[in-house]
């Protein structure tokens, strides 16, 4: 079989087979050109947005005083992702899915795996904090204790490293050859462990998020007396995290599972399409660097106020504050009516 090259890319007529295992070349140059321009847009929006967020966190919000160390770690993870995008853009525009340089390929995948793991870990910690504050109010909240200690954040990063190392093992091929019949036993074990880490770090936290969200909704419905504003804010924070998962992380996990299934079944023609779908959803997952600032606003109103006062015009900031005050007043009146109705019935 003719070896693959930029002039001889993968096609349904020249599929992926054990004799033709290299699938680092783009499967459809038009598709990957479009994906590269989508990443250009993500980088163009993500870099200034995250720079502005970082400025506010350090110089205006002073995150270490506002117990927002977890939020700051998500900003760091987002910067790691934004730094990787120009390399991915360069590859896609030059008709390759991954770098042919083993060192660069492994370093880039290491950064992407570490970014994804860190973002998910700290988002889950934030959601658990809101969960304990709402559902188990009055009990000792261990997450609140943890987020006051910066060393815990360092420990989380260190714990993520062992799960990211498989991307740098020498047997790791740049384009995920798991499922090939020509793999060695050691190669197969390495790929299996990497795939297990990939799915575990997405599916397990998603189950935790669903559990947290369901119980918080139940607690919100049970509260018929008093101010619901804090409960609604906590609910919005967790809902924003669920939205990030649903848009950025869950679709690429489903596409990855479908790709592995197609590959293990030996459907080479279908695999060409599955690989393109998977790469497209991976590009979509990079939008978490654009969506995470919404999570910051929902998780801490002080950050939102600091950001708006820094970058929004004064008249717009005043209007937003007036709208927020009106909404709070309406919630208070609604709460008062909830209390008076049972008295009328009696």
pLDDT for residue 74: 92
pLDDT for residue 10: 45
pLDDT for residue 13: 46
How far from the centroid of its chain's Cα atoms is residue 285's Cα?
7
Would you identify the CATH topology of the domain 29-311?
Answer: Rhopdopsin 7-helix transmembrane proteins (1.20.1070)
Domains of the chain, by residue range, sit at: 29-311
- pLDDT tens by residue, 260-269: 888 888 787 8
pLDDT for residue 25: 72
**Mean pLDDT of all residues in the chain?**
76
Pick the range with the lowest mean pLDDT from 119-133, 280-294, 300-314.
Answer: 300-314
| pLDDT category of residue 139 using cuts at 50, 70 and 90 | low
| pLDDT category of residue 322 using cuts at 50, 70 and 90 | low
Over residues 49-78, the mean pLDDT reads 87
| pLDDT category of residue 171 using cuts at 50, 70 and 90 | very low
- pLDDT tens by residue, 75-87: 999 998 999 999 9
pLDDT for residue 87: 92
| pLDDT category of residue 223 using cuts at 50, 70 and 90 | low
Tell me which range, 54-58, 171-175, 196-200, is most confidently predicted by mean pLDDT.
Answer: 54-58
């Amino acid at each position: 079989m003719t070896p693959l090259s930029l002039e001889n890319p993968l096609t349904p007529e020249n599929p992926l087979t054990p004799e033709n295992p290299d699938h680092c070349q783009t499967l459809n140059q038009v598709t990957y050109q479009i994906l590269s321009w989508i990443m250009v847009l993500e980088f163009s929006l993500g870099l200034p947005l995250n720079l502005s967020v970082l400025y506010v966190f350090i110089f205006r919000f002073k995150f270490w005083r506002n117990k927002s160390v977890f939020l700051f770690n998500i900003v760091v993870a987002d910067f790691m992702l934004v730094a990787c995008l120009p390399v991915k853009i360069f590859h896609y525009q030059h008709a390759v899915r991954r770098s042919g340089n083993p060192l660069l390929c492994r370093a880039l995948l290491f950064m992407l795996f570490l970014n994804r793991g860190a973002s998910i870990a700290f988002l889950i910690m934030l959601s658990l904090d809101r969960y304990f504050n709402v559902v188990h109010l009055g009990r000792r909240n261990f997450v609140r204790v943890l987020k006051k200690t910066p060393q815990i954040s360092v420990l989380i990063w260190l714990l993520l490293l062992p799960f990211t190392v498989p991307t740098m093992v020498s047997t790791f091929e740049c384009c995920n050859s798991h499922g090939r019949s020509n793999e060695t036993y050691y190669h197969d074990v390495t790929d299996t462990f990497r795939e297990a880490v990939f799915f575990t770090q997405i599916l397990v936290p998603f189950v935790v998020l669903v559990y947290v969200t369901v119980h918080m909704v139940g607690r919100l419905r049970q509260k018929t007396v008093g101010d619901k504003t804090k409960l609604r804010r906590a609910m919005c924070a967790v809902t924003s995290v669920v939205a990030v998962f649903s848009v950025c992380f869950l679709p690429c996990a489903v596409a990855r599972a479908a790709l592995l299934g197609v590959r293990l079944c030996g459907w080479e023609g279908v695999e060409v399409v599955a690989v393109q779908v998977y790469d497209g959803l991976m590009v979509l997952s990079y939008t978490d660097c654009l969506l995470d600032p919404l999570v910051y606003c929902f998780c801490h109103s002080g950050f939102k106020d600091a950001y708006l006062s820094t970058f929004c015009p004064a008249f717009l900031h005043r209007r937003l504050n007036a709208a927020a005050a009106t909404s709070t007043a309406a919630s208070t009146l609604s709460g008062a009516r909830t209390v008076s109705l049972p008295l009328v019935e009696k």
